[in-house]
């Protein structure tokens, strides 16, 4: 399979792209990512700025016209949406195949695999 | 208050600035030296980034993002490279970077800029060579650096007066061409060291 060179996305980039399915400025992205990840991913300003710069360079996001001259507003690009969807499918496959394998061999790493709780108890 | 210091490692510079703040001196500006203003002594968190900006707007956007997330811009200009931030809210993140890779990235950007400076001085030096501004033979004959007519026949106070007056110009004529070379080596070495720190940080050592 000829995979997009951007895959797999890092957790940070995945959440940033997901957050930017709606237009937002830098700090709003940071807050949205924290919210989407249930507080798991807390981006710092320097890392956020670098991530925006990087995603702009890769054309996965674009800058919109902003009324506020001090804050640029960004949104995911068509190319970004494709990459996000491809990574989503990649993870869906990983989840599906993990459940299959775990189902087949209950002795999987000797740990109990709970369908409801997912991998959290493994 | 003013102080002159040089740091290669951002971590050491951060620590030093935090110690200064603990003594009641908060960084106010940088350039040729560090400028401080009197402040209430206390524990502060100061973090450094390294970036320069293509436009004034990008620089403003950058500082606004930090301000929004609870980091006050203390010092640094569009072209200065090093940017200084003070943690200004209790709920802001502990650092201005949240992963190792982006934290190491500042060293690579510093290395890139150092390399650019080294190349600029190399070009300057080569221009001087091609314009035949460099007389390496005169290097060993300092007397030739002085142009004042009859300088070496003067005596006493009038000699010293004329000699000392011309010395700064003479030294620039004699060994001035070494300066671009010295700067080139200095920036080259700094760039190499910064790159090595980046490599070590990325590979997790």
* CATH at A71: 1.10.10.10
B68–A51: do the CB atoms touch at under 8 Å? no
Mark the ranges of chain B whose per-residue pLDDT is less than 50. Answer: none
The pLDDT of residue A122 is above 50: no
Domain locations in chain B?
2-96, 101-202
Domain assignment present for residue A120? The answer is no
Is the CB of residue A88 less than 8 Å away from at least one CB of chain B? no
Instruction: Give chain A's count of helices (H) and strands (E).
Output: 4, 3
B65–A47: do the CB atoms touch at under 8 Å? no
Q: How many domains does chain A have?
A: 1
Residues of chain B positioned with their CB less than 8 A from the CB of A30: 69
Quick one: pLDDT at residue B134?
73
Domain assignment present for residue A4? The answer is no
Instruction: List all residues 6 or more positions away from B60 whose beta carbon is below 8 Å from its beta carbon.
Output: A69, A70
Quick one: pLDDT at residue B140?
78
Domain assignment present for residue A5? The answer is no
Under a CB-based contact definition with an 8 Å cutoff, are residues A83 and A5 in contact? no
Quick one: pLDDT at residue B133?
73
Quick one: pLDDT at residue B50?
97
Quick one: pLDDT at residue A110?
56
Domain assignment present for residue A2? The answer is no
Minimum Cα–Cα distance from A10: chain B residue = B99
B98–A44: do the CB atoms touch at under 8 Å? yes
Under a CB-based contact definition with an 8 Å cutoff, are residues A13 and A55 in contact? yes
Q: Which domain holds residue A23?
A: 11-110
| B155-179 residue pLDDT tens | 888 889 888 988 888 888 888 888 8
- Residue B27 pairs with which residues in a beta bridge? B36
A51–B102: do the CB atoms touch at under 8 Å? yes
Domain assignment present for residue A3? The answer is no
The pLDDT of residue A106 is above 70: no
Nearest Cα residue to A70 out of B87, B76, B89, B63 = B63
B69–A27: do the CB atoms touch at under 8 Å? yes
Quick one: pLDDT at residue B27?
95
Q: Which of B57, B71, B105 is facing A50, going by the closest CB pair?
A: B105
Domain assignment present for residue A73? The answer is yes
Quick one: pLDDT at residue B175?
81
């Amino acid at each position: 399979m000829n995979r997009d060179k951007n895959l797999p996305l890092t957790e940070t980039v995945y959440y940033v792209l997901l957050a930017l399915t709606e237009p937002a400025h830098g700090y709003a992205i940071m807050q949205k990512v924290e919210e989407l990840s249930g507080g798991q991913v807390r981006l710092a300003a320097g890392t956020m700025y670098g991530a925006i710069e990087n995603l702009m360079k890769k054309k996965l996001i674009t800058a919109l016209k902003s009324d506020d001259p001090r804050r640029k507003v960004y949104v995911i690009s068509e190319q970004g949406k494709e990459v996000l969807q491809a990574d989503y499918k990649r993870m869906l496959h990983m989840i599906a195949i993990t459940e299959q394998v775990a189902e087949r061999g209950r002795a999987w790493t000797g740990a109990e695999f709970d369908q409801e709780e997912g991998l959290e108890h493994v | 208050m003013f102080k002159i210091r040089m740091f290669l490692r951002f971590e050491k510079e951060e620590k030093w600035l935090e110690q200064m703040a603990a003594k009641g001196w908060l960084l106010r500006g940088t350039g040729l030296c560090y400028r401080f203003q009197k402040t209430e002594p206390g524990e502060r968190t100061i973090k450094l980034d390294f970036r320069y900006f293509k436009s004034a707007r990008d620089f403003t956007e950058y500082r606004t993002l930090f301000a929004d997330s609870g980091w006050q811009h203390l010092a640094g200009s569009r072209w200065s490279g090093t940017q200084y931030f003070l943690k200004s809210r209790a709920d802001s993140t502990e650092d201005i970077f949240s992963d190792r890779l982006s934290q190491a990235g500042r060293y690579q950007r510093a290395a890139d800029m150092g390399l650019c400076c080294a190349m600029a001085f190399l070009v300057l030096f080569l221009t001087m060579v091609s314009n035949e501004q460099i007389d390496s033979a005169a290097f060993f004959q300092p007397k030739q650096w002085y142009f004042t007519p009859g300088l070496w026949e003067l005596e006493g106070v009038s000699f010293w007066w004329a000699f000392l007056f011309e010395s700064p110009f003479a030294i620039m004529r004699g060994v001035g061409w070494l300066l671009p070379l010295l700067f080139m080596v200095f920036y080259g070495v700094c760039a190499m060291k910064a790159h090595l720190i980046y490599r070590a940080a990325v590979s997790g050592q």
